[in-house]
Every structure is written in structure tokens, then in C-alpha cells.
């Protein structure tokens, strides 16, 4: 199956942005969504990089830690991207649980707290 990782990573970056340090965010300071609380060595390494270099670092990180570990290359579109996003935001365990319990109808695909509609699919997953 062809990898949709590039597309998934670009979608993730639309929401994560370069840096963030929101008050009340349990993850603390983040670079490309990678949290200082859970990945302090990775954030420390990215702090001295240019934004483009840190983005490339984040791209390799997310592929290794989430895309590959969730087995997204073995899933069809859009389930691969939904699983990746769920793994990043809710954890690998939750993403794998969603896969084992996924419910699909002609109108929606539901995962942990998310409802992916045909409009969302068309807007985000068309070439």
C-alpha cells in the first residue's frame, strides 16, 4: 500500500504550528506539536535548529513514533491518516483501540471524539 505519511504530516502541521506554549496545556512548551513534557530531549534538540530543520526533525520523529508504530502504511486512506492523528493526539493505545472498534457508515467515520464527515474527507484528502 502506498504511504500517505507526507499528506498526514502536512495536515498535522497545519494545526500544530512551529512553537506553542499555551497556559494550561499539559504538554507544556511544544515544537511542531512535540511536547517538552513527554519528549524533553527531542524538544531540546529542536530548540537550537532553524524552523525548517526542526520541521524535518519532527517529520522523522512522527513517522518513527506514531505512523510506523500504529501500522498506518498497512491501512487504507483515510483510515491511515485518521489513525495517525488519533495516535498523535490520544496515544497509540487509543488509536489501536479505535481500529479494533471502528464503526463506519456511509456518512461518518468515528474515532475517539472525532467525527469525520464526507465534507472533511473531500476538503482534506482530495489531491
pLDDT in tens, 71-84: 999 988 888 888 89
pLDDT at 121: 62
pTM of the predicted protein model = 0.78
pLDDT at 70: 93
User: Could you tell me the CA-to-CA distances from 1 to 76, 90, 113 in Å, in that order?
Assistant: 8, 25, 27
User: In this structure, which long-range contacts are made by residues 102-107, counting pairs with CB atoms below 8 Å and at least 24 apart in sequence?
Assistant: none
Residue 46 has pLDDT above 60, yes or no: yes
Band of pLDDT at residue 9, cut at 50, 70 and 90: very high
| Domains identified in the chain and CATH numbers | 5-125 (1.20.141)
User: Could you tell me the CA-to-CA distances from 47 to 44, 62, 71, 114 in Å, in that order?
Assistant: 5, 17, 29, 32
Residue 56 has pLDDT above 70, yes or no: yes
Amino acid at each position: 500500500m502506498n504511504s500517505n505519511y507526507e499528506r498526514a504530516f502536512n495536515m498535522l502541521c497545519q494545526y500544530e504550528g512551529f512553537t506553542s506554549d499555551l497556559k494550561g496545556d499539559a504538554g507544556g512548551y511544544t515544537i511542531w506539536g512535540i511536547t517538552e513534557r513527554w519528549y524533553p530531549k527531542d524538544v531540546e534538540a529542536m530548540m537550537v535548529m532553524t524552523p525548517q530543520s526542526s520541521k524535518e526533525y519532527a517529520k522523522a520523529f512522527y513517522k518513527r513514533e506514531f505512523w510506523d508504530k500504529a501500522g498506518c502504511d498497512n491501512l487504507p486512506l483515510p483510515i491511515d491518516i485518521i489513525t495517525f492523528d488519533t495516535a498523535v493526539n490520544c496515544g497509540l493505545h487509543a488509536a489501536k483501540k479505535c481500529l479494533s472498534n471502528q464503526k463506519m457508515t456511509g456518512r461518518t467515520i468515528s474515532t475517539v471524539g472525532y467525527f469525520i464527515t464526507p465534507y472533511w474527507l473531500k476538503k482534506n484528502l482530495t489531491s
